[in-house]
Chain A
Amino acid sequence: MALRMIIVEDNLLTREMIKDMLELLGHQVVAEADDQAGAVAAYRQHKPDGLTIDLSLPKEDGLTILKALRKVDPNVRAIIVSGNSQVRIREEVLRAGAVELLPKPIELDSLRQVLGKVFPNADHA
């Protein structure tokens, strides 16, 4: 089963890289956003299987966006992407309802591993 994903990321290059890797793993990127309004609108429109959300974004941080998405869908499945590996932030990310934290720089194997945990029933090429 291929996943339908939304990418929430402000950095063009990282967005392209995540898209690239998701497609390489056999999944589909149905929308991209770089802030809360865009992410919520895209989520309502596309009802994806999950999202990747960058933690540090210019307008709102990834945790704020995740909390907004959980109001739309309490079962939202989000992977927070970040170079921030602070122990207490990781705890906060998981407490906020993220399913996993994906460290930057993003590598194909680590993305595959995280997707395997979050979506155990999907195929990840």
Chain B
Amino acid sequence: MLITPDDQKAILGLLEAGIGASTSKLAAISRTQWAIKTTALKAYATAEDFAELGQPSQYFFGAYCASPGRVFLSYFTSRSSALMTQAFLASSRRGLQATPQMQEVAVAEVSNIVINAIAAVLADRCGMAFILSAPTVVRGGRADIIKAAFGALQPVGKIFSATITLSSHDIAADCTLMMMLDDLIANFILNALDR
């Protein structure tokens, strides 16, 4: 399928609508405001496209959730994930400790929540219904994380990817959300959108 610039614009519009829901969820967890920092689209993405991304020394925590033809990935810098873990643990009165293991557990759940928020907007706007997999935790360099998420997608045809980075000025944290769609799902979404 040929994804035209108009198609890309339509999917980006949809994603931005979904991001509103995700930022609300992040705000509820961190008790701070979040805003879009950057957006990027790639019509014919491969894992190799992301091989050079990020400084090798930078470490990220993230998680992806998948369903046939689509993968949603959310990841945080190490520092941001520590802040989100603290915020998440603060809502429990059990005095849970922010151990490295707990950081993974927290990132998995925060990712699960923000990913499902964006996925719900996409599904509702397009008349779809799908249950995403439980989150799979990924950690390492940015390219490693993205490649792992790509690996969960068994695409029909080409892959369309969209990336949105969010930031919270209040706590100097960031969160990157990626949506990867195969041709079949991208086509379904474009047909469903009333343009």
Using CB atoms and an 8 Å cutoff, list the residues of chain A in contact with chain B: 10-14, 16-17, 20, 24, 55-58, 61, 63, 82-89, 92, 104-105, 107
Contacts and interface: CB of A to CB of B under 8 A. Distances in A.
Given A13-B89, A83-B116, A105 B25 contact: yes
Interface of B: 25, 28-29, 65, 88-89, 91-94, 96, 102, 105-106, 108-109, 112-117, 119-120, 123-124, 127-135
Contacts of B115: 83
Contacts of A85: 116-117, 120
Contacts of B133: 56, 58
Contacts, number: 86
Contacts of B108: 11
B50 to A, nearest CB: 26
Contacts of B93: 20, 24
Nearest to A107: B28
Contacts of B91: 17, 105
B102 A104 contact: no
18 contacts: A11-B109, A13-B89, A16-B92, A16-B96, A20-B93, A57-B134, A58-B133, A61-B131, A85-B116, A85-B117, A86-B124, A86-B129, A89-B123, A104-B112, A104-B113, A104-B116, A105-B25, A105-B29
B112 to A, nearest CB: 6
Most buried by A among B29, B116, B135: B116
A24 B114 CA distance: 26
Contacts of B123: 86-89
A55 B115 CA distance: 14
A86 to B, nearest CB: 4
B131 A13 contact: no
Contact of B132 (A11, A24, A84): A84
